[in-house]
């Protein structure tokens, strides 16, 4: 399954786990669960909601291999411990940290392509402009989500923190994707953008 297709299910599964985690530990009558136990319990809970939830219904229609791949990507730690009473959306925070890391890696790749040379070869320039187009499109999509009060109100705290961060640091990328990377001093803004991402990851 592609990342694009899997992402909506990933978010829905993490939100569900946040709500039912304690019941999973209660059902197993222990304070620690293995990844297979977490995945099996979560899969069972999603299936039980397939008659009342469109997302759950769409999930159950996926091939078993696709469902297993998404669950494994989300829940692969050796041990899961019962969350403390004041601990919320732990797995969700990890998910958005990985999304932020992806932004950091995309930015680092762009910085590497542009380099520090005073002149950029045409093929490298074209590659940089394409990468910038992809980066700015992703930033715009995520920043637009942060502008929706209804969506933000329904999000968990970690989701709100991630989208608010992208909306904020995205303002540091004022360069156009078709501008000259050297003349427009792309790397100055890219490094500032990456610094904002890294500050989020360090929290």
Of the candidates 27, 24, 46, which has an alpha carbon nearest to the alpha carbon of residue 35?
24
**CA gap 142, 155 in Å, rounded:** 13
Contact 177, 101 (CB under 8 A): no
Q: What is the pTM for the complete model shown? A: 0.68
pLDDT in tens, 144-166: 988 888 878 878 888 889 999 99
How many alpha carbons lie under 13 Å from residue 183 in its C-beta half-sphere?
6
pLDDT in tens, 177-194: 999 999 999 999 999 999
pLDDT in tens, 87-119: 666 778 888 999 999 999 999 999 999 988 888
Structural domain boundaries in the chain: 3-81, 90-202
pLDDT of residue 87: 62
First to last CA, the chain: 31
Tokens representing residue 47 in the block: 């299936």
Tokens representing residue 34 in the block: 């293995």
Contact 46, 16 (CB under 8 A): yes
Instruction: Give the Å distances, CA to CA, from 139 to 33, 96, 171.
Output: 36, 14, 9
Provide the CA 167 distance to its chain's centre, in angstroms: 14
Split at pLDDT 50, 70, 90, the class of 1 is: very low
* CA angle (138, 139, 140) in 5-degree steps: 90
pLDDT of residue 130: 96
């Amino acid at each position: 399954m592609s990342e694009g297709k899997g992402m909506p299910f990933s978010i829905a599964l993490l939100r569900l786990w946040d709500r039912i985690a304690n019941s999973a530990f209660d059902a197993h009558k222990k304070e620690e669960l293995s990844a297979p136990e977490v995945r099996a319990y979560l899969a069972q809970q999603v299936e039980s909601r397939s008659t009342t939830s469109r997302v759950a219904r769409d999930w159950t229609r996926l091939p078993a291999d696709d469902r297993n791949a998404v669950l494994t990507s989300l829940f692969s730690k050796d041990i899961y411990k019962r969350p403390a009473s004041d601990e919320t959306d732990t797995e969700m925070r990890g998910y958005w940290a990985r999304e932020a890391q992806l932004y950091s890696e995309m930015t680092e790749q762009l910085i590497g392509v542009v380099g520090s040379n005073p002149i950029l070869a045409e093929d490298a320039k074209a590659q940089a402009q394409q990468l910038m187009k992809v980066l700015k499109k992703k930033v715009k999509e995520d920043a637009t989500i942060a502008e929706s009060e209804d969506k933000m109100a329904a999000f968990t705290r970690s989701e709100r923190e991630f989208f608010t961060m992208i909306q904020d640091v995205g303002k540091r990328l004022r360069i156009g994707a078709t501008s000259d990377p050297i003349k427009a001093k792309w790397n100055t803004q890219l490094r500032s953008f990456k610094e904002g991402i890294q500050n989020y990851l360090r929290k």
